[in-house]
Structure 1
Amino acid sequence: MKRFDCMKALARRLSDELVILSLGASVDEWYNAAPHMRDASLFQQQLGCVSAQALGLAAGLPHRRIVSLDTDGGMMFNLGILATIANEQPNNLFIVVWDNECYQSIGGPPTHTASGRVDIAAIARGAGVTRAHTAHTVEEFDKHCAEGLAAREPYLVVAKVSGTVQPDIKRKHSDGREDKYIFVRHVERTENIVIMGPSEHN
């Protein structure tokens, strides 16, 4: 199945959630698949940091649903986050792992999941994230999105997607610094809080 099709299915279910996103082609795909979520999405987080940042956001905003759009390569960089999530048990965290079995953005060398022996959902369950599943079709994935967004415990779905990038889509034109401010101002506006106030002058 194609990641872009999965993204469109997920996007149809989102309204006021906050989304943390990884690097690579998934950035431009999400930018196009979920235009109504652009301000609510923090783009271009480093490998190994996506689900960790999502956990921090889930802890800081426990009344808000947080969605982590991680990757197989990124999750393999920081498997320890699964144990932390299991121990902390946030009831508002939904994790998607796009598993295309390669590091697509650097030319496509295989990740560990390409061997057929490494199962991220099984690793998550072993770490204590009991609701961890794998989806092979868009229909399966959409079902897990519905369940994961309604769950009152951590929920993870590994989406086994092809390495094909959606062609002819609009490139996201903002950089990481601008993305940060867009996201923070969205959180401030929707939560009626101040995160980054005006600079103080001595």
Structure 2
Amino acid sequence: MSATTTAKMSRYQCMARLGARLQDELVVLSLGGAVDEWYDAAPHMRSASLFQQQLGCVTPEAFGLAVGLPHRRVVSLDTDGGLLFNLGILATLGNEQPKNLFVVVWDNEQYQSIGGPRTHTASGRVDLAAIARGCGVEKAFVTSDLDEFDAHCAAGLAADEPYVLVAKTDGILQPGIKRKHSDGREDKYVFVRHVEATEGITIMGPSEHN
């Protein structure tokens, strides 16, 4: 589907569809309204989700997890603004071809968390999926249809190569959802302890007391 498509989906509905497909995957996601929406749409994935607070770092961190845990499916929930901050990660995915990384880009064509200034994708000329394909990620698509999004999620979670899905969303925050009250430091420890427990490994030892 073309990047110039005007019809757009609800990000929250997309998250609910994706969340229903996840079980033991690890998720890294961006800051902004997507945090509270994901916290509410996929409550069973809260401890398995790393809530990242820096633009440009979501997919790179997910790639690092995918390399470090090659037997584990990793999902990056990036944004158009975040990915535009670090397009070089697409070249890394094209060269390294991680078999266990599924990247979803929530593209609402705006920097929503700072008031909604337009991103480059709002012009209709910047196609993030086409950029990914140009970097060597053959499975890279754009969609604005919810059922098509769901079908791509099934394919992306089963793929044995990097899979990028740009989801054109409407930028309307889901009203009335439960807010996430933990901060970034707490989120980090919850996520690390989840990885330790599910992998049977030690990443960070017990805190030292002076």
Question: Shorter-chain TM-score: which interval?
Answer: over 0.9
Deviations 1:55-97 (A, max 9, x none): 0000000000000000000000000000001111110000000
Matched, 1:42 2:50: yes
Match of 1:99 in 2: 107
**Structure 2: gaps spanning 5 or more residues:** 1-8
2:29 partner letter: L
Matched, 1:121 2:129: yes
Identity of aligned residues (%): 74
CA displacement at 1:106 relative to structure 2: 0.3
Matched, 1:21 2:29: yes
Match of 1:109 in 2: 117
Structure 1 segments of 4 or more deviating over 3 A?
Answer: 199-202
Cα distance in 2 for residues equivalent to 1:31 and 1:172: 7
Matched, 1:191 2:199: yes
User: Number of matched residues?
Assistant: 202
Do 1:20 and 1:53's aligned partners in 2 also have CA atoms closer than 8 Å? yes
Report SS of the residue matched to 1:15: coil
Report SS of the residue matched to 1:197: coil
Matched, 1:148 2:156: yes
Q: Within 5 Å, which residues of 2 pair with 1:162-201?
A: 162-199=170-207
Deviations 1:144-168 (A, max 9, x none): 0000000000000000000100001
Matched, 1:78 2:97: no
Matched, 1:52 2:63: no
Matched, 1:159 2:158: no
Cα distance in 1 for residues equivalent to 2:209 and 2:44: 37
Task: Give the structure-1-normalised TM-score.
Answer: 0.98
Report SS of the residue matched to 1:52: helix
